[in-house]
Amino acid sequence: MLLDHHADVGTAPLQLRDLPTPEPGPGQVRVKVHVCGICRTDLHVVEGELPPSTRPIIPGHQAVGVVDHLGPDVTTLKLGDRVGIAWLQDTCETCEFCTTGRENLCRAATFSGYHVHGGFAEYALVFARFAYPIPSMFSDAEAAPLLCAGMIGYRALRRSQLKPGERLGLYGFGASAHVTIQIARHWGCPVYVFSHRTEHQSLAQRLGATWVGQATESPPEKLHASIIFAPAGHLVPLALQALERGGTVVMAGIYSSDVPSLVYDRDLFQERTLQSVTANTRQDGLDLFHAATEIPIRTHTQAFRLEDANHALQALKAGKINGAGVLTIG
């Protein structure tokens, strides 16, 4: 499903095309894709809310499949291995960020479905060092949302400095939040969910939320940390005001509408902190999969055919997917 130019997803801008089967270069493998998760980042790419990049482009960065062709110099993977392709596709590996465990900040980083073709296709390429082994306990569809929704939620939890037993707020309850709540509950953390859709609130309650409500409501207790998954800057002051002293709000999206002016005494004083998340590192991904098998995390997915990718993204934009959407290929 190819994007020639950005446009409102309601106009169905992705087009089904036949393209030559890609050939892996040095250090790369080709993956025969079975499923690919859909994500708000895909929506931002399609609708042009991210800075312009490669066009035409095949979106998709939560692909699960099997290695069917090895490029030169690949020794860590073999044919038939089941792997996942995530957002971070490659880095320089030599800059100050790459050499200090912060490769997600590399200025030369390339991203799947944005700089290079992604997983909304039968085949996709990935550098072997950025391919994630998929634990056998997860089906293809169960694993796909972990490759972005799960990893970003996990990094956001780390950035929030949440400790076991502390109170966590989640603003927006889509694919990332429905994974994040399972990790937080495993840590013994009460979770307070802010969502305006009743079906999302119901899923949050089934997954163990202590309280659910609207973003404009005050939770019954002050929160030690909150994560904003919705791309809505106006939630930042509300989330800061709901914090306990010394708490942290993390903005987990790759895109957000503008944050309104903050009132220092009301919103930031008493050592409250506002953080952002910029992708995940490979170590975040490996740690997330380890945690996912230990808990175990169970993702809730809704399947769409590859050729229905426009419809799937429209449903995502309208908030009509409960859990995570997944495209099935073939």
121 and 216 fall within a common domain: no
242 and 213 fall within a common domain: yes
β-bridge partners, 324 = 301
Nearest to 123 by CA among 50, 220, 20: 20
Nearest to 272 by CA among 225, 219, 215, 218: 225
- List Cβ neighbours of 294 (8 Å cut-off, separation of 6 or more): 186
142 and 285 fall within a common domain: yes
**What CATH number did the domain enclosing 209 receive?**
3.40.50.720
The residue among 233, 248, 276 that closes a domain is 276
14 and 97 fall within a common domain: yes
Unique residue bearing structure tokens 């499903």: 1
The residue among 239, 254, 276 that closes a domain is 276
138 and 162 fall within a common domain: no
The predicted pLDDT at position 52 comes to: 82
How many structural domains does the chain have?
A: 2
Contact 141, 305 (CB under 8 A): no
The residue among 276, 301, 319 that closes a domain is 276
Verify cis geometry, omega within 30 degrees of 0, for the bond prior to 133: no
CA distance linking residue 34 with residue 314, whole number of Å: 22
8 and 140 fall within a common domain: yes
285 and 246 fall within a common domain: no
What domain range includes position 267? 156-276
CA atoms 197, 199, 200, 205: torsion sign: positive
208 and 304 fall within a common domain: no
Look up residue 261 and give its DSSP letter.
Answer: P
Contact 36, 120 (CB under 8 A): yes
82 and 205 fall within a common domain: no
84 and 113 fall within a common domain: yes
User: CB-hemisphere CA count at 13 Å for 284?
Assistant: 26
62 and 195 fall within a common domain: no
CA distance linking residue 247 with residue 256, whole number of Å: 21
**What CATH number did the domain enclosing 324 receive?**
3.90.180.10
β-bridge partners, 31 = 67, 124
The predicted pLDDT at position 13 comes to: 98
213 and 241 fall within a common domain: yes
Q: Tens place of pLDDT for every residue, the chain, 330 residues?
A: 999 999 999 999 999 999 999 999 999 999 999 999 999 999 999 999 998 888 999 999 999 999 999 999 999 999 999 999 999 999 999 999 999 999 999 999 999 999 999 999 999 999 999 999 999 999 999 999 999 999 999 999 999 999 999 999 999 999 999 999 999 999 999 999 999 999 999 999 999 999 999 999 999 999 999 999 999 999 999 999 999 999 999 999 999 999 999 999 999 999 999 999 999 999 999 999 999 999 999 999 999 999 999 999 999 999 999 999 999 998
